[in-house]
Structure 1
Amino acid sequence: MKNPIRIGAVAAAALLLTTGLAQAADITLKASHQFPGGKGDVRDEMVQMIAREVAKANVGVDIKVYPGASLVKASEQWNAMIKGQIDITSFPLDYASGQHPQFGATLMPGLVKNHDHAKRINNSPFMQDIKKVINDAGVIVLADAWLAGAFGSKKNCILEPDDAKGLKVRSAGATFAEMWAGAGASIISIPSNEVYNALQTGVADATDTSSGSFVSFRLYEQITCLTAPGDNALWFMYEPVLMSKRSFDKLNDAQKKAIMDASKKAEEFFAAESKKLDDELVAAFKKANVKIVTMTEEQANKWREVANKSSYRTFADKVPGGKELIVKALQVR
C-alpha cells in the first residue's frame, strides 16, 4: 500500500511549484516595434535581450515581443504606448515629431557627426531637454541608441546636393525632407518597412535610412548606388527603447530594477554593435554588387549649407525652443 503521507507531500510540493510558476510571470508586458525579428536586426535584438534578461531575473514579469509591426503599425507605436496598448517599443523618435516637434532634432542633417560624437550627445544638455519632453509625455527612456545612416538611389550616386535634383526621395523625417527639397528633390513620406516596395514599384527613386534598415529590409535588391556613412556621415537617428511611464510605475522596485539593469545591458550591447552595422552595410552591398561611395568633408559641408538654409532655419523658427536645441547640439564637440 502506498504511503498516503508521502503522496500528500508530493502533491503539495507539486501544487506549490505550480503556484510559484504562475506567480513567476504575473505581469505581462507587450513590446512592439517595426523592425524584422529573427534576422539579426540589432534594434530587435535590444528588445529581445531586455525580455530575456528580465525573465532570468525571475521577478514576475514576462515581456512578449512583437517585431515587424505585427501588433502596431510603424508610425503608430508612440500613440499606442501613450494609450496603454503597448508597454515598450524600440522607436525612431522623429516618428513622433508630429506630436512633439522637438523630436525632429534627433534626426537633423549633420547634427551628429559619428558614433563617438553620438555617445557624447547622450549626456549633453541637448539630450536632457529632449528627454524632458519624452518624460512629460508619459514615457521614459530605457536605453539610448543612435544609428548612422546612408543614402541609396536607383538612378545615380548621391554625393552632392545637385545629385538630388529631380529625384523622388523617401525621407525618414521632416528635417531631412526639408534638406532634400532644398536640393531639388520631391519627397515621399512612408515608414522604413515600406521603402522596399516603393523603390520596387517606382514610387521612390532614392531613400535615406539607417544602416541597419538598409540591410534588414534588403534594400540592396533595389538600389544601384549606396552613399555609405564613412567618415562624414550626415545621417544619424535616435532610436531608443522606450517604456510607458504608466506601465513602469505599476511595477514593484525589484521589477523596475530588473528592467533597468536589462536595459543598461542592451544599451551597452548596442553601443558596441552600432559601428559594426556600418561595416555590415558595406559588406552586404558589396556582396550584392551595388556601387558604394562615401562623401568627402567638402561634399558633406555642401549638404550642411543646404540644411542650414532649410532644416535648421525652419526648425529654429517654428519649433518651440528649436533654436536653443540646435545651439546646444552644436556645442557638443
Structure 2
Amino acid sequence: MSLKTGPILARRTLLGALASSPLWLGSAWAASQSMKISHQFPGGSIMEGDFRDRLCRMFAADVEKRTRGSLKFSIYPNASLMAPNAQFGALRKGGLDLALMPLSYAAAESPEANIGLMPGLVTSYAQGYGWKSADVGKELTRILGEQGLVVISWIWQAGGVAARGAPVVAPEDVRGLKVRGGSREMDLVLQQAGATIVNLPSNEIHAAMKNGALDAAFTSSTSLMSFRLHDVSRSLTTARSGGYWYMLEPLLMSKTVFERLPKDQQAAIMAVGADLERFALRMARNDDAAVANVYARAGARVVDMDADTLRKWQDMARATAWADFGGRSENCARLLALAEKSVMAL
C-alpha cells in the first residue's frame, strides 16, 4: 500500500462508519427523507386554492423548516397518486405516508370511521372540534391507532346540498331523487326519506350531476365550490345557519411510518398538525359563508336550514343511522354513546 492510499482508505472507513451510526443518521447531516401526501381535492398553492390542499402545503413547509430539512414532502392533489377510497388501506399498510381524506371513506375497512359523518350527531364546529379532547375523540384516536393510523390534524367541515332542481331542505324533498350522501349512515337516512343512493367520491360529483346520473349531492361547503358544482346546479342549501351534515376530514399518517421516525420529528409533525387546526376552522367557516355568494352569482336559488327542519333530519337519523351504527360492534356502540354524551355536555 502506498503512502497516499493508506490515509485515503482510512478516511473512507471512518466516513462509512459515521454515516451508518445513529448519531450521524439523527443529525442535520443525514440524508433527508421524502414523504408523500395524497388527497382528492384540486391543487393550488400555499396562498390560493382549496384550503385542504393549502393546509397540506403549509404542513409540508412548516415541518420541513422545523426539522431543518430532514423531512420533505411531495403533495399529490386531484387523486393523482391513488383513488380516494384506496388511501386508508395504503396508510394502514405503510404504502402511503399521509393523506387528507374524509374519514367516512374508510368505512369498508373501519366501520367505526363512519362516526365522522353521522348525520345530526355533530351540529356545530364547537361540538366537532371539542371531540379531540373529549372521551369520544380519545376513543376514536385509540381505535384508529389500533388500525394503523395517527391523526395529525382534526379538521371538521359543515356541508350543504347542491341540486339540479328545487332546493333540498326537508327530508321529504329527496323523495324520488338520485342522491349522494357521503357516508353509509347518511345514505340510510336518505333511503328512509325515499331517495335512490348514488355512491361516489366528491371529485366525481360534477360529472355525475352534469350527465344526469345524480340529482343532488351532499358535500362540504369547500367541495361545493372547489369542484364547481355551481356550474351544474340550480339550487343550494347552505350550512350558514346550522346543519346536520358535519364531516370529520383529518390529516392522517401511517402509524408504521410515524413510528419509524425519531422522537423530535414525531413531535414536529404533531405540533404543526395541531397548529393548523385553527387555520382549518377559520377557512371552513369562511367557505360556509362564501359558498352562498358563489351559487347566487351563478343564478342558483340559495336557501338556509332552520332549527325545526334540522330536528326533522336529526330525529330520522337517530331512528335509522344512529341505531344501525350503534349495533354494528362494541366499538361503534361505545363511540356513539360517548358522542351523545359530548352533545349533552355542551
TM over 0.5: yes
1:118 matched residue in structure 2? 128
2:297 matched residue in structure 1? 287
1:299 matched residue in structure 2? 309
1:260 matched residue in structure 2? 270
Displacement over 3 Å in runs of 4+: 22-25
User: Shift of residue 59 of structure 1?
Assistant: 4.3
Distance in 1 separating the partners of 2:318 and 2:275: 37
1:246 matched residue in structure 2? 256
- 8 A contact 2:36–2:76 mirrored in 1: yes
Instruction: Could you tell me which runs of 5 or more consecutive residues in structure 1 were left unpaired when the two chains were aligned.
Output: 1-21
Instruction: Could you tell me which runs of 5 or more consecutive residues in structure 2 were left unpaired when the two chains were aligned.
Output: 1-27
Aligned length: 315
- 8 A contact 1:154–1:222 mirrored in 2: yes
Deviations 1:166-217 (A, max 9, x none): 0000121101000000100000000000000000011100010111110100
User: Shift of residue 322 of structure 1?
Assistant: 2.6
Flag the 1:151–1:319 CA change in 2: closer, same or farther, 3 A: farther
- 8 A contact 2:240–2:289 mirrored in 1: no
- 8 A contact 1:228–1:292 mirrored in 2: yes
- 8 A contact 2:121–2:314 mirrored in 1: no
1:37 matched residue in structure 2? 43
Distance in 2 separating the partners of 1:54 and 1:30: 13
Distance in 1 separating the partners of 2:158 and 2:39: 19
- 8 A contact 1:59–1:255 mirrored in 2: no
Is 2:246 aligned against 1:236? Answer: yes
Amino acid at match of 1:276: N
Q: Secondary structure at the match of 1:318?
A: coil
Q: Secondary structure at the match of 2:330?
A: coil
Amino acid at match of 1:222: V
1:1-333 alignment runs, 5 A limit:
23=29, 26-38=32-44, 40-57=49-66, 58-332=68-342, 333=346
Q: Secondary structure at the match of 1:142?
A: strand
Provide TM-score, normalisation by structure 2: 0.87
- 8 A contact 1:200–1:222 mirrored in 2: yes
Structural RMSD (CA): 1.9
- 8 A contact 1:24–1:59 mirrored in 2: no
User: Shift of residue 253 of structure 1?
Assistant: 2.5
Amino acid at match of 2:39: H
Amino acid at match of 1:26: S
User: Shift of residue 25 of structure 1?
Assistant: 5.2
Q: Secondary structure at the match of 2:313?
A: helix
Distance in 2 separating the partners of 1:142 and 1:119: 14
